[in-house]
Amino acid sequence: MPTNLLDSQDVRAEKPVFLVNIMEIPKLNTRPTLRPQVTATCITYPQLSPTVNEVRVGMAEMRIENKPIELVTSVGSCVALCIYDSANRCGGLAHIMLPNSAIAPQDCLPGKFADTAVPALAKAVREVSGQEACLSAKIAGGANIFSSLNGTGPAIGVKNTEAVKAALNANKIRLAAEDVGGSYGRRVAFNVQTGVVVIRFSNGEIKKL
């Protein structure tokens, strides 16, 4: 006797299983005012503001997408690197923590260090697009939040920014825009289809790159 009923060919032949992706069914808000208005001729849906799904990218993480979503991360001294392929409308975001992977063990996360994240992210974006890619990069972050943390020499945020720029240069990727430095955190939202990066500061200010 099969352990799983679906493994049996007979059952499958008699009762075809319809797989429905629940995520693809548009969600309706259950509030009464937003229910579809049934009129004599057709059903009209109330106009909802177009929202894009947000996916959070954690520290030292790297994520590549070609669906219409926003990749979101929050950076202080870290650097958010967005690489966009304008030819195929896809892109990826990496949350870079440290400038140099020399201190890391062999099996480190590629998204953690500037010198490994740039080539890894560019390669991954090229793989997703599958064709001739036209890559450009936007970076944000590299702030200096704790003024009392610094010893001598440049702050870690500045080092991170410089390391990312150097790595972009070495990998021949154009830096399209940047918003770096300062002493405040940034919430970075990268729309992978349009390539627009929206930066929100903690005081509510918004800046588009």
Partner 1 sequence: MNANMAHSKTVTSKDSFTELDILLEIGSMGAGHATTSLSKVLHEPIKIEVPRVHMLPPHLVPEIYEKHDTVVATVFMQLRGTADCDIMLIFEEEESKKIAELMIDEVAEGEATPEMERSAIEEMGSIVLCSFLNAMADFTLTKLVSTPPQLIIDSFDSIMDGLLIKQALCSEIAVIFDARFKRYDSSTEGFLITFPSDRLQRKLAEKGKKWLNHENSAQNGLPPDLVDCDLGSVKARM
Binding site for partner 1 (CB under 8 A): 56, 58-61, 73-78, 97-98, 103, 105, 109, 112, 143-149, 156-157, 184-187, 202
Minimum Å gap between C-beta 155 and partner 1 is 9
Minimum Å gap between C-beta 59 and partner 1 is 4
Closest to partner 1 by CB, 60 vs 168, is 60
SS3 106: coil
SS3 163: helix
Minimum Å gap between C-beta 195 and partner 1 is 22
Alpha helix positions (H), the chain: 9-14, 114-129, 156-170
Closest to partner 1 by CB, 126 vs 159, is 159
Closest to partner 1 by CB, 38 vs 102, is 102
Minimum Å gap between C-beta 124 and partner 1 is 18
Closest to partner 1 by CB, 83 vs 94, is 94
Q: Encode 20-50: b = buried (16+ Cβ within 10 Å), e = exposed.
A: eeeeeeeeeeeeeeeeeeeeeeeeeeeeeee
